[in-house]
Structure 1
């Protein structure tokens, strides 16, 4: 009798680390194919597997506004699914791009809050990836007097900030 895993079951830290190892192997193979050097760290941060790649000359793996990084993350998630049969919430970062982008988006969110509070009118931000939208929502949700929601369909999904 085959066992089934319920969607609401928590994945163990060992399983999450196994997912990060699968993704790291996949990314390492890709780096070999395109002849790039990078150090790869596999970790578990909170309840998510994570792979961080650091090294020189990796900017092309990030791409414009992180588009290539997002694609690499999705391919790595597919590699995990193919190997384990489980969907993963893997996060891939290259050269600390995500932390830098999160800081920049926090500034955008704070300026947007000021504008919404000053004018009393909603503001629609530019389309963003899911990672970017979450960074903005986190700032908005921690601020009194405003609220946010995502609208639209990928890849044009955006955050709208309005008075609460």
Structure 2
């Protein structure tokens, strides 16, 4: 199993020797923790989103091009969906242009909305569900729907641009 927080290269800012929870993401460089072994895989399952719900600064090269949850006059907060879109594009491009990859199926597990009751996952909330919601009970909020829609758009984009032996599926 390969694991990455952001799909792209990310570095946490250290302030006074302590982790800050603030990350710099480099949109033009994928995270080598997963990319270096891509050629040896037949299937890739991508399930990422929740790490983007924190303060991040998005870079192209050495330039900060946007942020998420920042409050700075000279940096535009483009939101979680934008940051995710750019990370997915980088990852899907890496997969599509992997010359050492013979045949690879990429499965994208679309965004899973928060499903904890009586608090968040880290404040005592719990998930008491024993089966998935049916279509009538699903209630996507505006942000959740925006993220899921963006993911579907990006997987379809990657599929259209796909090279021989590469396929992409939304699950």
TM-score (norm 2): 0.27
Greater relative contact order (Cα < 8 A, sep 6+)? 2
Select the structure of larger CA radius of gyration. Answer: 1
- Write 1 or 2 for the structure with the bigger share of strand: 2
- Write 1 or 2 for the structure with the bigger share of helix: 1
